[in-house]
Structure 1
Amino acid sequence: MSFSPLTSRSAVDILEELQLLTAKTMEKIEVSKHYEIIRELGKGTYGRVDLAIHKTRGAKMALKFLRKKTTKQKSFLQEYCISRYLSSCQYIIGMYDIAFETTEHYVFAQEYAVAGDLFDIIPPQVGLSEHITKRCIYQIALALDYLHSRKLVHRDIKPENILIFDKECRKVKLSDFGMTRIAGTTEKRVSGTIPYTAPELCETSKHSGFLVEYSIDVWAFGVLLFCMMTGNFPWEKALHQDSFYYEFLQWQRYKSAAVPSQWRKFTSHALKMFSKLLSIEPERRCAIKDVLWYFAKTWLVSKEESLNVDGKSNAEVFVHIKPPAALPLGGGSEAQNSNKSETSTSLSFSSCSSYEDVTKDNNSNSILVSTAIEICV
């Protein structure tokens, strides 16, 4: 059966049709008869993800088990069908035409990412090199642009949901569409307040609901980019009570305000890009594809240049931009930036996430946590 996007029909119609078809054809099976489970890749409140080999096909795949006690069949069908609908994009995790149920779980199969996820390779309080960051974020930008062109909003952009196939990020893919919704629809509640959550959602009452907009993803994309390049969160929550966010807010609203210390490592071009991604007003945030123009620019200042911009305002910052180099999406291995981020924030890159947190494999790189971030669900 074909799941290719049909541009002549709306995403709503296509997804509804796919869900009805999947519900009719989904069988109840015994996992051990069809799959050899190799090991557990991750687990959380939703269930678990196992690495398995299909006994007939002989292919390795990741099986996602969603507990029936906490997952409605409708939610399972929605996540699976959205994932299938989008998987024709090379920057979105591939899906197998496999969905079934067991006594306790709903299960679907997806492509196995051999190197884990992006969270595992970001050095805390250091960040990735500019080159690797650009290579990775370029692919995620194209994945989100594809998603948005189909009138869908991911709503859970974070490193744990970006799967990688090599440590140099030559091949990365966006995953986990359990929170994805049609743009323009209304959600009853915010699932959690985390560093990636836009300020308009942080301020939303748990009882009032909100409209699903592309700007939600744009904000999270901007925070993700900051985290990748610094190994730190810019703030715990995008609320006035958070001193780091309040400092950022003042800087954005009043251009004469000093550039906050944790943002001084970025060039004027990068700061302008962040201002467009992290605009306080949702309607003023740029489209994801608008950031592609900045890939030819330098994003991190050198040590000498950082001394010159330290403490200056937005209007006073002048940075010499090096000649732009072409962005290769393949090639040799690059060394990670060893210069630690000079930032006033005490936040380190911890495993904050929404209610769908995945427990890291014991073999994963450990992440140092200096400030615990509580998630309100």
Structure 2
Amino acid sequence: MPGKQPEPRPAAAVASEHDTKDSLGGLTPEELQQGQEAALALEERMALGAQTLVHAEVEQLYQEVRPLGQGRFGRVVLVTHCQKGASTGTGTTMALKQLPKTSTSLRSFLYEFCVGLSLGTHPAIVAAYGIGIESADSYSFLTEPILHGDLIAFIQPKVGLTPSEAAQRCAAQLASALEHIHALGLVYRDLKPENVLVCDPTCQHVKLADFGHTRPRGTLLRLAGPPIPYTAPELCALPPLPEGLPIQPALDAWALGVLVFCLLTGYFPWDQPLEDTDPFYEDFLVWRASRQAQDRPQPWFGLAPAADALLWELLDPHPRRRSPVGAVRGYLGQPWRQQDEEASGLKEGRQ
């Protein structure tokens, strides 16, 4: 959940035409314009959102049913409407995300609230309701309730997501959600199992949540703190502009590749995408360069050729050669684990 963060500067404020063609994810004029339009639309929505905030204490409006999630900067609870004279809430349940003012500015709250509204209706994105609340100590907004926790609880260590079809189903839904976000000129920037909510006990349907880190395409970004497995390698290098790297959807493609690996294996492919620091990432680069079976890193044992091909596309260290998130669709229905491939071969042999 987002708290107080420095606001990245739009690329348009500093980037020249020469800068936008830099090899580390530079923008074409069309891409830059798309990001500018998205930024302007968000500013307009935030101005309107500030004018329509409901000023009241949450307890006066909603009855808490139970907690749904707790993060560093806030919490999410299941609520129902309060009615005067009633001892409990009544009516439809909703999820209320509450962010304390001690760690959240009005602008950062409005930003996350309005990004969620700008995404509209998508089956794999948590639907935001147009109700923002300012209380004495917090800011809050309402979304549809997702009641089965997040994806991290469904990923088994050293096993991944089971049954195996669930990994493909989850990857396809998330790729569709990210494509929708990218089509609106935005980059999600925070894909991880904790931000993927599960709608049912068997993980048939998932939804993307938490949009506090989402930014318009082309926003200049610097890496804050050490990289994590989902951090794309171009963010770990010196930025092409002093103010940072103009962000692109390729950042989300990298994170999706890492998440797919986690879904299939139950662990990360590496800790950090740094060649001279992380031996697992270095082994991956050696394998990519040689394309020889003997160089296949141990964490990749057990994956089928279709999964290898998809992950090589999404985890290309060069952002301009990296496949978009929609590449997932080209590999659906094929075995992603060797055990699935073997089971399929046995089945065909019996027929």
Whether 2:213 is the aligned partner of 1:186: answer: no
Whether 2:259 is the aligned partner of 1:224: answer: yes
* Alignment partners' CA distance in 2, 1:106 and 1:135: 35
Q: CA deviation at 1:262?
A: 1.4
CA change 1:149–1:321 in 2 (3 A) is farther
Q: CA deviation at 1:125?
A: 1.4
Q: CA deviation at 1:116?
A: 0.9
The equivalent of 1:247 in structure 2 is 283
The equivalent of 1:119 in structure 2 is 152
The equivalent of 1:271 in structure 2 is 308
1:83-142 CA distance string (max 9 Å, x none): 011131121101112101111111111111111111111111111132011111111111
**How is 1:31-110 mapped onto 2 (pairs within 5 angstroms)?**
31-55=58-82, 58-110=91-143
Q: Structure 2 length normalisation: TM-score?
A: 0.80
1:160-193 CA distance string (max 9 Å, x none): 1011111322221111100000011112443652
**Does the CA contact (< 8 Å) of 2:58 and 2:133 recur in 1?**
no
Whether 2:333 is the aligned partner of 1:299: answer: no
CA change 1:16–1:191 in 2 (3 A) is farther
Listed as ranges, the gaps of 5+ residues in structure 1 are 1-6, 307-318, 324-377
CA change 1:259–1:34 in 2 (3 A) is same
Structure 1 letter corresponding to 2:279: S
1:229-274 CA distance string (max 9 Å, x none): 1111111111121111110111112223611121121122211111
Structure 2 letter corresponding to 1:283: R
CA change 1:141–1:187 in 2 (3 A) is same
* Alignment partners' CA distance in 1, 2:128 and 2:157: 32
The equivalent of 2:14 in structure 1 is none
**Does the CA contact (< 8 Å) of 2:223 and 2:236 recur in 1?**
no
* Alignment partners' CA distance in 1, 2:296 and 2:345: 17
**Does the CA contact (< 8 Å) of 1:87 and 1:93 recur in 2?**
no
Name whichever structure is richer in helix by fraction: 2
Listed as ranges, the gaps of 5+ residues in structure 2 are 1-33, 84-89
**Does the CA contact (< 8 Å) of 2:73 and 2:100 recur in 1?**
yes
**Does the CA contact (< 8 Å) of 1:26 and 1:101 recur in 2?**
yes
Whether 2:320 is the aligned partner of 1:283: answer: yes
* Alignment partners' CA distance in 2, 1:244 and 1:275: 15
| Pairing partner for 1:209 from 244, 249, 253 | 244
**Does the CA contact (< 8 Å) of 1:61 and 1:112 recur in 2?**
yes
**Does the CA contact (< 8 Å) of 2:74 and 2:99 recur in 1?**
yes
* Alignment partners' CA distance in 2, 1:305 and 1:27: 58
* Alignment partners' CA distance in 2, 1:197 and 1:274: 15
CA change 1:85–1:270 in 2 (3 A) is same
Structure 2 letter corresponding to 1:141: A
- Further displaced range: 190-199 or 62-71: 190-199
Q: CA deviation at 1:10?
A: 3.3
The equivalent of 1:358 in structure 2 is none
**Does the CA contact (< 8 Å) of 2:195 and 2:208 recur in 1?**
yes
**Does the CA contact (< 8 Å) of 1:189 and 1:210 recur in 2?**
no
The equivalent of 2:193 in structure 1 is 159
**Does the CA contact (< 8 Å) of 1:124 and 1:231 recur in 2?**
yes
* Alignment partners' CA distance in 1, 2:202 and 2:150: 12
* Alignment partners' CA distance in 2, 1:203 and 1:70: 30
Q: Which runs of at least 4 in structure 1 moved beyond 4 Å after TM superposition?
A: 303-306, 319-323
Percent of aligned positions with the same letter in both sequences?
40
- Count matched residues: 303
Structure 1 letter corresponding to 2:264: M
Q: CA deviation at 1:158?
A: 0.3
SS at match of 1:169: coil
Q: CA deviation at 1:321?
A: 11
Superposed CA RMSD: 2.5
| Pairing partner for 1:258 from 279, 295, 299 | 295
SS at match of 2:160: coil
Q: Structure 1 length normalisation: TM-score?
A: 0.75
SS at match of 2:291: coil
The equivalent of 1:364 in structure 2 is none
SS at match of 1:247: helix
* Alignment partners' CA distance in 2, 1:166 and 1:44: 22
Q: CA deviation at 1:19?
A: 0.7
